[in-house]
Chain A
């Protein structure tokens, strides 16, 4: 679906190194869910994704532009943003 969007309404980000387009205004947590990429691996190594969607649970934390532990549900995607699953 994002492919059909006019360019101005899209941003390009990198999810674990892969270029991906999402609609402008999409939160990083929503982008990770859209592309079925887990936010983090838990202490015991299981994949986790967003839970509360409102900044409380920290399940959505990932590495954004090299900074770990960012709450991806409280951050919107920006052009050229690099997002990595937190291990």
Chain B
């Protein structure tokens, strides 16, 4: 890449085209800002609004969904959307470097940056979790939308968090037989959440929709996975426990996830202040979604896991503020949604038993095949990286980092550019620009 040819300037640059990023971009562009939106995915919508990419699966007779409305509003606002583009570095103030199609380096400059990078699932290591057929719960849902068929397959959904219910309902709709939904949180822990949902119409409606889909599905509250079992190398079942008894459930697929981890890495790279959480870090923002960096806002899940409504409100607040418009009319609702997120955190807090699922030979770092025993022998991240290469592979600790935080209580390592592995030709121009600006 020749950096000089490939620089685009945006008044407002939004990273992430999930609900939060779409709302932010639309609000800013409507009020006259020149807005560009970048997203790593092939299509806008983020996680909850991930659409099916396979033509045969889409039903055109349905009324316009909230996803379609949000995307139509984005286009009508005049904002420009770029998919398959991933921000990997911030080489100087108001500059980010981007990888397009995993290949070409591009550069963007901006007046205001809105970080809307969403969240990922927390994956915890247990014996057998590296077997093909053990997938992230949201991951399996995404793969089904990308053309994988689960029709007739027996799926066990295990872990924690509201996502499990959404995924189980979706898999059932896609023709799978959900043979188990095991939620590690006990029934009693769930009661305050259930009570608060009764007071919120949209959440109640969504809950009832899922409940109807899951009628007849075996649900176990207060149970968690202890081992994925293989028969001649092929996944055959999952062993679960409630602390006093264990059971084995035969299945073809295990969908597992332990609630969500904020994707806070880009904000951290930009120098925004973060707060530690039990599973990672979240970005600190004020009521206008401003971070501690004057020109950087953060919206949606990186500020703390709070779901769709919070993402939409926070996005709109940041977009309006970036365009110099008032947003105070939205602050009370945004605060209520943030409180809902805190209730989710409390409800789905991980029980201690989940820290000790791994056996000595269980792989902890999937990229480098570092075992639990090898990593356990280290004093912290830095030593583990040096001694075992834990966290040094291509995912750069996105999966094993939060796992070591839960299992050993380690502080997350600080992030360094590039945020993702980048081909040399794209990287060289990024670092050379960095040096010019020092």
Closest B residue to A33 by beta carbon equals B148
> Is B21 an interface residue, CB under 8 A from the partner?
no
Contact of B102 among A1, A57, A71 (CB under 8 A): A71
> Given A1-B149, A34-B149: A53 and B140 within 8 A (CB)?
yes
- CB A39 to nearest CB in B, in angstroms, measures 8
Closest A residue to B399 by beta carbon equals A57
Contact of A50 among B52, B135, B393 (CB under 8 A): B135
B120 touching A42, Cβ below 8 Å: no
Contacts of B105 in A (CB 8 A): none
- CB B53 to nearest CB in A, in angstroms, measures 4
Closest A residue to B50 by beta carbon equals A54
Rounded to whole angstroms, the CA-CA distance of A27 and B393 in the bound complex is: 23
- CB A84 to nearest CB in B, in angstroms, measures 16
A57 touching B398, Cβ below 8 Å: yes
Contacts of A36 in B (CB 8 A): 132
> Given A25-B55, A56-B399: A46 and B130 within 8 A (CB)?
yes
Contacts of B421 in A (CB 8 A): 58, 69
Rounded to whole angstroms, the CA-CA distance of A52 and B163 in the bound complex is: 14
Closest A residue to B142 by beta carbon equals A53
Contact of B146 among A26, A43, A59 (CB under 8 A): A26
> Is B56 an interface residue, CB under 8 A from the partner?
yes
- CB A18 to nearest CB in B, in angstroms, measures 18
Which of A25, A36, A44 is most buried by chain B, counting CB atoms within 10 A of its CB?
A: A25
B393 touching A49, Cβ below 8 Å: no
> Count the B residues whose beta carbon is within 8 Å of the partner chain — how many?
45
- CB B148 to nearest CB in A, in angstroms, measures 4
Would you list which residues of chain B between 360 and 393 have a CB under 8 Å from chain A? 363, 366-369, 393
Interface range, A side: 35 or more
A76 touching B42, Cβ below 8 Å: yes
Would you list which residues of chain B between 324 and 377 have a CB under 8 Å from chain A? 363, 366-369
> Given A25-B53, A25-B55, A76-B53: A54 and B366 within 8 A (CB)?
no
Rounded to whole angstroms, the CA-CA distance of A75 and B149 in the bound complex is: 17
Rounded to whole angstroms, the CA-CA distance of A22 and B253 in the bound complex is: 21
B147 touching A44, Cβ below 8 Å: no
Would you list which residues of chain A between 15 and 72 have a CB under 8 Å from chain B? 22-27, 29-31, 33-34, 36, 38, 42-44, 46-59, 61, 69-71
Closest B residue to A70 by beta carbon equals B102
B147 touching A54, Cβ below 8 Å: no
A52 touching B139, Cβ below 8 Å: yes
Rounded to whole angstroms, the CA-CA distance of A72 and B141 in the bound complex is: 16
Contacts of A75 in B (CB 8 A): 42, 102
Rounded to whole angstroms, the CA-CA distance of A43 and B56 in the bound complex is: 38
> Is B133 an interface residue, CB under 8 A from the partner?
yes
A52 touching B42, Cβ below 8 Å: no
- CB B83 to nearest CB in A, in angstroms, measures 10
Rounded to whole angstroms, the CA-CA distance of A77 and B149 in the bound complex is: 15
Rounded to whole angstroms, the CA-CA distance of A49 and B393 in the bound complex is: 16
Contacts of A73 in B (CB 8 A): 142-143, 146
> Is B136 an interface residue, CB under 8 A from the partner?
yes
Contacts of A76 in B (CB 8 A): 42, 53, 146
A34 touching B53, Cβ below 8 Å: no
- CB B397 to nearest CB in A, in angstroms, measures 11
Closest A residue to B101 by beta carbon equals A75
Which of A5, A29, A51, A69 is most buried by chain B, counting CB atoms within 10 A of its CB?
A: A51
A52 touching B120, Cβ below 8 Å: yes
> Is B138 an interface residue, CB under 8 A from the partner?
yes
> Given A42-B369, A43-B369: A53 and B395 within 8 A (CB)?
no
B143 touching A33, Cβ below 8 Å: yes
Q: Can you list 25 A-B pairs, Cβ within 8 angstroms, ordered by A?
A: A23-B147, A25-B146, A30-B147, A31-B147, A38-B132, A42-B363, A48-B132, A48-B366, A49-B133, A49-B135, A50-B143, A52-B120, A53-B135, A53-B138, A53-B142, A54-B41, A54-B142, A55-B40, A57-B398, A58-B393, A58-B395, A59-B395, A70-B102, A74-B102, A76-B53
List 11 extra interface pairs beyond A52-B399, A54-B41, CB under 8 A. A36-B132, A42-B366, A48-B366, A52-B120, A53-B136, A54-B47, A54-B138, A54-B142, A74-B84, A76-B42, A76-B146
Chain B contact residues, CB within 8 Å of chain A = 40-42, 47, 52-56, 84, 86, 102, 120-121, 123, 130, 132-136, 138-144, 146-149, 233, 263, 363, 366-369, 393-395, 398-399, 421
